[in-house]
Amino acid sequence: MPKSQKQQIDQVLEAADRMTADELDRLPYGMIQLDSSGRILNYNALESSLASLRREDAIGKQFFTEIAPCTRVQEFYGRFKEGVIREALDTSFHFHFAFKQNPRDVTVRLLYSKRSRTVWVLISDHDGKPLGTPEAVTVISRDA
């Protein structure tokens, strides 16, 4: 992943806790915020579109069992659990979402936020590039 893309992702994740739902919706990445049990707290518009799942049908649900059971594997759920226990998580990996309506290969970045005590899941394309239009750059720059 080119350095500028990694820097943009780092900026997004650093600012995520302070972003409004509208600002999260303008991001060119899928963004999901999970509490320590894996319950969905935030689910942005791009992720909703990619997963073909309305935000209101995702918020409050268990991500690993009710929304994306394909993620309940060591590679994803195991890293999540370990990061929550340690209260430290910042990892990236390739993953195949096996949704029958829209299967896709992506890069996942998991980041534990000490500020909110939650985990942010950032979804980019397989090469770490944005999945949508980069409308969020102004949001990030404004908050930086």
The predicted-structure confidence for 74-99, as pLDDT tens digits, reads as follows 999 999 999 999 999 999 999 998 77
117-142 per-position pLDDT tens digit: 999 999 999 888 888 865 544 444 44
Separation of CA 48 from chain center: 11
pTM for this prediction: 0.87
Tell me: the pLDDT tens digits for 2-56? 557 778 888 888 899 999 999 999 999 999 999 999 999 999 999 998 888 999 9
* pLDDT at residue 144 greater than cutoff 60: no
Domains of the chain: 3-143 (3.30.450.20)
User: How many residues make up the chain in this entry?
Assistant: 144
Run of H or E including 122: strand 118-125
